[in-house]
Structure formats: C-alpha cells, structure tokens
C-alpha cells in the first residue's frame, strides 16, 4: 500500500520545499516537488511535513509515575499515558531517562527503580502497547551508594541507547554554586539550614570518595551495552577534556559558554534544554541556550521536562537562524546522528517513515498528525 502526503511544505535536510512524499512498507519511497494533490493522497494544505522528533533526555515519565509527591501511580497506565503524550506532540523516538545510583542509607535518599521500570517499558513495547519507539537512557549518578550494582543489572538486550555520566555532588557542575543548591533543596524538601549543611557535608564526602570508581564503571558499562556515552552539566574546560577522554559523544546541558565551546573543539555534540531556550534562560542560573545558539555551539535540543517544548524550540531556532531546516535538525537529524540511529531523522528515500504534520500559527504550532513506520499513531 502506498500513502501519499501532498501539498506539503517539506522540511528536507538542507532546505524547505513545497512538494509531496510517498510512503511504502513503512519507508519513504519517493519525494517530489510541486503542489498537485493526486486522487487518494492526504492533502496537507501547505502544512509542514517533517521527520518525527527524536527525544534523547526526558524526565516526563517520572511525572506520570509520581503525579503528586508521595503518590506512586500504577506504572503500566503511566507508561501508556506518557507514550500517548509524546505521540501527540510529534515525538516518534524517545530515550526514556532512568536514574541509576541510589542512597540507601538515608531516610530521604533516592531509591532504586531503574531495572524494574525498564522491564515494564520493554514489556509494554513487546506487547505492542506503545505508539512510538522507546529506548532506554541510563542516567548514572556518581554521587550515590549503589551505582555499580545497579549498572550490573543491565545487559545488551535491554535497548539501552544512552548512558549519561552525572555528578550532583555539592560544589560540582550544576551545583557548583551552593546558593543555587540551597534554594533548590530547601524549596523542594523544606530543609532547615542545619539540615542543608549536613546534607552538603555528607554528599561532598561521598562524591569525593566514589567519583573515580563510579566514573570508570559507567564508561565501561556504556561500552558493554554499545550505548552512546553522554556527559552531564560540564562546567569547565577540564571537565570537557575528561569527557572527551571517556569517549562522550554528547554533552548534556553544559552550564557555561566556555564548556560548550570546548565541546565543539572536541567534536562533542552540545545538547541544551528546550525550556531554557523558550524561557530565555536557565532556571538554575546557567548559560542561556539561545546564547549558545547564536554563538554556533548548539547541536541538539531536548524537551527535558516539557515534551511539547521540543517542537516549539526547533521552530524557534529556525527563526533565530533564519534556516528552518537547520532548526529542525536539532530535534531530528542531529540527535539521530549522535546516537547512531542512521535509519531516521531525515526526509530521505529509504529511511523510516516517521513523520509529523505541523500547522504553524504565529509563534505556536500544532501537530496535526504523527506517523511511525508509516502508520498513523496520533
């Protein structure tokens, strides 16, 4: 069966052009120019037709699993609702971010959940319950007590596509400024000043004690799983150089322009959060994504915690750069390239027909249809 999308504004890898696209057996079979609408074709009415969005780092599943503090929602329905939300905003491939590394000795410490959650995602995928393509992103927390044991529970069959190396030790990276950490923790958990200072002391000692062995274990796990290694919150040139030695291909949310520039020099793709771009700055006081975009140091965008922001940010970048194809590549071709997904992310013959139809109105946009492997899912 052939499906034809006609009268569309095609977002091609290097340009935007009016034309049509034909799909056969789940793949892009033909791309033509012109405004005609053949009998039986889907008339896109001039809407944008572009590759499905590729999300490398999202905390959205956590919001569905814990819709209120202390509420553990049934995971099956939460995964399905998360998946439906992604399909509705044009995301056709997602790396679900799961933290590995817990604090079992603390009353308020993070608890292990990644292995069980990955099993539930993979089971839903196998059962055909999910609309979009789900892969696993393991967020390895250096400043933890159980990281090595948790990493050991994953193997090559677990669809782990990304392993990111995180270090949230007080005084490091995102929390290099303890004043920012104080506002975050005291606001989120209601800590007293004494409790906050005690937390800083304990976590600093833990991070300093385990950093080397945990970094080594994380890098080894990424290699074992044949997963892309990502750094997280690189702040200094020295940290970027260490990420390069580890073999990182992606830098998640570098916090300074100097770090982003160093990533570019090392050939590491810089990923920034869509909320940072749309809000005009980082909520943590770090470098603004738009400043990196203007400077030429922004390669990939992640929705982070607002799935609908992924499309909005790419359209915004297209306007900033005066190049819609380049803006859209930050959420399609570039994330695909960074993670070795050579079968998607571009409107080219022979690639997967993961497609979205988008109607723009002013600075906003609406997804009017989402197709995965040529089948409509939203």
Distances (CA, A) of 354 to 28, 283, 350, 351, 374: 9, 33, 12, 9, 6
pLDDT at residue number 162: 98
pLDDT at residue number 197: 77
Q: How many CB atoms lie within 10 A of CB 131?
A: 20
Distances (CA, A) of 147 to 115, 203, 208: 12, 15, 15
The torsion angles phi and psi of 336, rounded to 5 degrees, stand at: -65, -45
| Residue reference for tokens 């340009």 | 15
Tokens of 282: 């980082």
Domains and CATH numbers, the chain: 51-344 (3.20.20.140)
d(CA 34, CA 43): 13
Tell me the CA end-to-end span of the chain in Å, nearest whole number.
20
Cα 282 to its chain centre, rounded Å, is 17
- 3-state percent helix, strand, coil for the chain, nearest multiple of 5: 40, 25, 35
Question: pTM of the prediction?
Answer: 0.93
Identify the H or E element spanning 164.
strand 160-166
d(CA 219, CA 225): 10
pLDDT at residue number 299: 98
d(CA 135, CA 217): 21
Nearest of 199, 95, 100, 85 to residue 146 by alpha carbon: 100
Predicted confidence pLDDT, tens digits, the chain (378 residues): 899 999 999 999 999 999 999 999 999 999 999 888 999 999 999 999 999 999 999 999 999 999 987 899 999 999 999 999 999 999 999 999 999 998 877 666 678 999 999 999 999 999 999 999 999 999 999 989 999 999 999 999 999 999 999 997 776 777 766 677 677 666 666 667 777 777 777 778 878 888 999 999 999 999 999 999 999 999 999 999 999 999 999 999 999 999 999 999 999 999 999 999 999 888 667 899 999 999 999 999 999 999 999 999 999 999 999 999 999 999 999 999 999 999 999 999 999 999 999 999 877 899 999 999 999 999
Sort residue 91 into left (φ over 0), alpha (ψ -120 to 50) or beta.
Answer: beta
pLDDT at residue number 171: 65
pLDDT at residue number 202: 77
| Residue reference for tokens 């750069």 | 321
pLDDT at residue number 109: 62
Identify the H or E element spanning 55.
strand 53-58
d(CA 59, CA 57): 7
pLDDT at residue number 148: 97
Give yes or no for a contact between 243 and 251, defined as CB atoms under 8 angstroms apart: yes
pLDDT at residue number 226: 97
**DSSP 8-state secondary structure symbol assigned to residue 304:** B
The torsion angles phi and psi of 228, rounded to 5 degrees, stand at: -70, 135
Strand order in the sheet with 228-232: 53-58, 91-100, 133-141, 160-166, 228-232, 250-252, 269-273, 300-302
């Amino acid at each position: 069966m052939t499906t034809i999308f006609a009268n569309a504004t095609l977002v091609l890898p290097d340009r935007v052009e009016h034309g049509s696209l034909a799909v056969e057996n789940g793949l892009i079979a033909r791309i033509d120019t012109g405004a005609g609408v053949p009998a039986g074709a889907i008339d896109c009415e001039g809407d944008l037709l572009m590759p499905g969005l590729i999300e490398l780092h999202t905390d959205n599943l956590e919001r569905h699993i814990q819709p209120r503090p202390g509420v553990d929602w049934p995971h099956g329905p939460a995964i399905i609702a998360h998946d439906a939300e992604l399909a509705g905003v044009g995301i056709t491939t997602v790396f679900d971010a799961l933290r590995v590394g817990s604090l079992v000795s603390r009353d308020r410490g993070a608890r292990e959940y990644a292995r069980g959650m990955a099993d539930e995602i993979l089971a839903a995928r196998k059962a055909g319950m999910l609309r979009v393509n789900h892969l696993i992103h393991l967020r390895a927390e250096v400043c933890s007590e159980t990281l090595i044991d948790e990493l050991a529970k994953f193997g090559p069959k677990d669809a782990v596509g990304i392993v990111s190396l995180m270090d949230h030790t007080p005084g490091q990276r995102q929390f290099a400024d303890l004043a920012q950490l104080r506002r975050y923790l005291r606001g989120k958990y209601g800590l007293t000043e004494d409790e906050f200072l005690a937390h800083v002391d304990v976590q600093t000692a833990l991070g300093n004690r385990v950093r080397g062995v945990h970094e080594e274990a994380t890098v080894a796990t990424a290699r074992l799983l044949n997963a892309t290694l990502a750094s997280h919150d690189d702040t200094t040139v020295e940290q970027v150089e260490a990420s390069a030695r580890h073999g990182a291909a992606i830098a998640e949310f570098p916090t300074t322009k100097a770090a982003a520039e160093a990533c570019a020099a090392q050939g590491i793709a810089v990923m920034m959060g869509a909320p940072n771009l749309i809000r005009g700055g980082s909520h943590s006081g770090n470098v603004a994504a738009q400043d990196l975009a203007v400077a030429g140091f922004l390669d990939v965008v992640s929705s982070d915690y607002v799935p609908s922001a992924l499309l909005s940010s790419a359209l915004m970048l297209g306007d900033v750069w005066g190049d819609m194809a380049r803006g859209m590549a930050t959420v399609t071709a570039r994330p695909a390239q960074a993670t070795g997904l050579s079968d998607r992310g571009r409107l080219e013959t022979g690639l997967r027909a993961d497609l979205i139809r988008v109607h723009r109105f002013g600075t906003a946009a609406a997804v009017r249809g989402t197709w995965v492997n040529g089948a409509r899912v939203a």
